[in-house]
Structure 1
């Protein structure tokens, strides 16, 4: 018996060695296939092509999965269950979903790819319930067309592509045999992330042509907070002599999450499954809801090199796209098996019209930007009430005309009164649109108002609407200016916004100040300044709609440039000076919900320039002895520990680094956001002796502060703490500390 076992031992060892060798060969073969596929990407991805695409997205549920019971709801009082009410919501939901979908939208597009640019022109579209579609929907990054990019964007999140260098390092690949597709031999390879995470990562199956090593089919999925399936089907094209996409499908369902998950710009919510909050395991409607997106690609053409019109626009919607309806939809693209789509359109069209939802959306869009429409006039909510230490309460009324009056002419203005200084201020502007596509406006304006001294502002910056803007609360040094302005606003340069203007101002400082120039002391002066201000977003994506251009994918870095110069010989200009200002803004969001932000600003003012037009480094701290006396509200991109009017510079640099952590979910209502931030500034002031009757310091040695922010603790309120250190720290420890409240109720769009 022992001899028999010894006889079979060599055979057993040989079997193990052979099995290991075969596995090793297979591993090497799989590795080789993936590496060659990555290497051949540029060859297999055609450089120039065009095709027509039809996409249909529905939000629906399977009625067979819903029980539809009428339940009795009980509440517990004094350890006894007492009947409360009848709950028939499941029954009603089942009846509705048996007849129609919850929502449906369709579009027909023309895609053109030239070089590195893929442009979509929407030829026809319709959304259930809306005469004019919600254009922002078309910007949602749900599923990409190409699988050859280094990243794979799925439901507004990016994953490393399995056929990229980064993906090669992050995924495990397994050979699963061969199959035949369209009479061609295809390798079947599965991939999965090497490291598992709770949030879910991309995995799936790749079908790679054995000869071309191009993608013939792909089945991808993510199982995390959402359950997502993304399939791509290809067809072997005899002209291209390679595989080209023929259709794609996307399915989104609720995943594993204890808290609600919001997608589509937070318009759809999947309820969380939290045993503590739902001990009975009751099913919500979102447990059955699924989002389906199906795309089909027709009439591909290859190697027809063409010049794209407006290549800086990723998505363009023709003005006639909204008008194209029945005939185009149902002759070529209609799916006869979907009997619930037509009732969905009929039902939602009448519902939206009855509840005036389109009008509410129109008003909502205006309010987000700080306006409330009344007829042909949009009231500017930013002028209603403000406060600062000089004017006291500033009461005002203003606004701008809208498209109901004219699409080529607009009038803007406001009138305000300060309760403390007792002076009325005003502004009036008229502008004429010269070009619709480039959004070029030519205008002239007049302003009689006050402004903060030494504020390094960019003319191109939009004033975002905030329910409460805290920083002006503490400002007390202003100057009055009466300014005539001629300007051109335009987006004619691709991926930019710019303002070109000439202003003539009479300036009177409203504080004790004198400026010495050529032996003469000035308490007021005149300035005629020409300015060019430009914001450049080279990596962002834009959509052109009948209503204007929209930045649909805000990518970083972003660059801002501004140049201004006085014209000494024009309109009795008092001084000769100029300014050059730059800004570099970079933000990086990670799939782990961490966010890294870096901001650089710099400026150089040259010539004989008064203190009203130099730089103050955005201070935001009161000159008080005690920490508690200095508690005010935190600003944005400001030095929280720097006292007002403490430093002035004619040349400066400012850097800010911030790391924002994911929301800390304490309860359904308390979800604070924790951030760590460091700020550094350096500057200098030439000819400081010219500035009389005002005490200040300069920043040749630099300025540093670091701290943390705990924002949105409850209903937008938060807490901020910063510490001042380095060469300009204060002798007493407590004078270096700034404690602030933060208000993050911001309804505007910050670039």
Structure 2
């Protein structure tokens, strides 16, 4: 981490040293604005997970990760940028897991159909792992952090080989869409059998069509130099519909999924460091859906005896007291409420911030007997936890405490408590 930060600082220093002095007094403002815009664009790319070079932007997500199945996962990824071509692009990555001794990779490319509507047609081939029960929106903006805390303790993955073609299109300035057709071979890496119509499946094939819509009606646009910058507004809404087809390109199951998320943020001061955030997420799967494509509620607690043995790193939007693989659902909803207090101004370099948190989850499952080889519960009684975080105490590290109560409160007090590190850093 320090090595990367030092490298970035070195690059910025070079830029500052090599910036040309203005030839006219009137040019000063223009030069300052251009330098500021270049630096802002550079840090925005870093914040989005890319280290820019002349023709290829290096994807920082693949440099180093760790989970319980792969152990250390390391590799290299990247994408071509506009300096090479603004009409065509390529992207890909290669990683290696030192615990499962397996390479994973993806390769893809795309071509632009329309610049005005940001319409792209993309093709990809991926051979990798995915967490069972996870659900991703196609239109999500890239989220990147130097450290992904939930990943450390995940142990239930399924392997997939997926070929896909997708269409990105901006319907209006506030409405984004992405449509994808895909064909996947899926193999759970754990003991699991899915029974459908008296047939047992230990691996399966899927042919799916998906459409994802991201509506940001309160976003604003600002022109800086010759670049238009989009500023996120709230609330925003995301809807994704998926249909799996049986007997189409060898698909094994018919099932339908609908996923929804809305995020609302209310600022309480002009600096934006005292605010309340609410996130509502829901999903439903109907038809013959294997566990791999159902839902968990983003648990982040390992099954150990004592609080200290469970001490790890808190996630960003995860249930800290919910144990991994404890619950799965074919219909669920979660509500997460966070209130960020104004940072405590102890010293210039010591300004910790307290966050008050409440989380709720509700779910259930039809035909639970179809899923054999694994044991789990449902969320029909309603899951509740409350907690607080004290962030950025030292070098971005802080502390998190959460308590599990309500319908799934456990008999032993210590089993309901989660104490963890937090890690927050911003560029």
Give the corresponding residue for 1:147: none
Give the corresponding residue for 2:103: 424
Cα 1:423–1:438 change in 2 (3 A) is same
CA distance in 2: counterparts of 1:385 and 1:689, whole angstroms? 38
- For the 8 Å contact 1:465–1:746, the answer to whether it is kept is no
Deviations 1:457-482 (CA, angstroms, capped at 9, x unpaired): 21211332211111101101000000
Cα 1:391–1:718 change in 2 (3 A) is same
Give the corresponding residue for 1:582: 260
Cα 1:474–1:130 change in 2 (3 A) is farther
Question: Is 1:607 matched up with 2:283?
Answer: no
**Which stretch shows the higher mean deviation, 536-545 or 437-446?**
536-545
Give the corresponding residue for 1:651: 331
Cα 1:562–1:346 change in 2 (3 A) is closer
1:564 pairs with one of 242, 259, 264: 242
Shift of 1:547: 7.5
CA distance in 2: counterparts of 1:359 and 1:555, whole angstroms? 24
CA distance in 1: counterparts of 2:158 and 2:226, whole angstroms? 38
Shift of 1:637: 1.4
Deviations 1:110-137 (CA, angstroms, capped at 9, x unpaired): xxxxxxxxxxxxxxxxxx9799xxxxxx
Aligned length, in residue pairs: 407
Shift of 1:703: 0.2
CA distance in 2: counterparts of 1:547 and 1:459, whole angstroms? 29
- For the 8 Å contact 2:364–2:380, the answer to whether it is kept is yes
- For the 8 Å contact 2:37–2:224, the answer to whether it is kept is no
- For the 8 Å contact 2:139–2:213, the answer to whether it is kept is yes
1:387 pairs with one of 47, 66, 87: 66
Unaligned runs of 5+ residues in structure 1 are: 1-127, 132-340
2:277 pairs with one of 575, 583, 597: 597
Cα 1:545–1:130 change in 2 (3 A) is farther
Unaligned runs of 5+ residues in structure 2 are: 1-18
CA distance in 2: counterparts of 1:390 and 1:586, whole angstroms? 35
Give the corresponding residue for 2:348: 668
CA distance in 1: counterparts of 2:214 and 2:225, whole angstroms? 23
1:434 pairs with one of 92, 113, 120: 113
Alignment of 1:661-700 (within 5 A): 661-700=341-380
Deviations 1:352-374 (CA, angstroms, capped at 9, x unpaired): 99xx8876555434222221222
CA distance in 2: counterparts of 1:545 and 1:445, whole angstroms? 34
Give the corresponding residue for 2:53: 374
Cα 1:589–1:398 change in 2 (3 A) is same
CA distance in 2: counterparts of 1:746 and 1:440, whole angstroms? 31
The 3-state SS of whatever aligns with 1:628 is coil
- For the 8 Å contact 1:129–1:348, the answer to whether it is kept is no
2:25 pairs with one of 340, 343, 366: 343
Bigger relative CO (Cα 8 Å, ≥ 6 apart): 2
Shift of 1:746: 4.4
Question: Is 1:632 matched up with 2:306?
Answer: no
- For the 8 Å contact 2:245–2:252, the answer to whether it is kept is no
Cα 1:452–1:547 change in 2 (3 A) is farther
- For the 8 Å contact 2:166–2:180, the answer to whether it is kept is yes
1:573 pairs with one of 251, 257, 260: 251
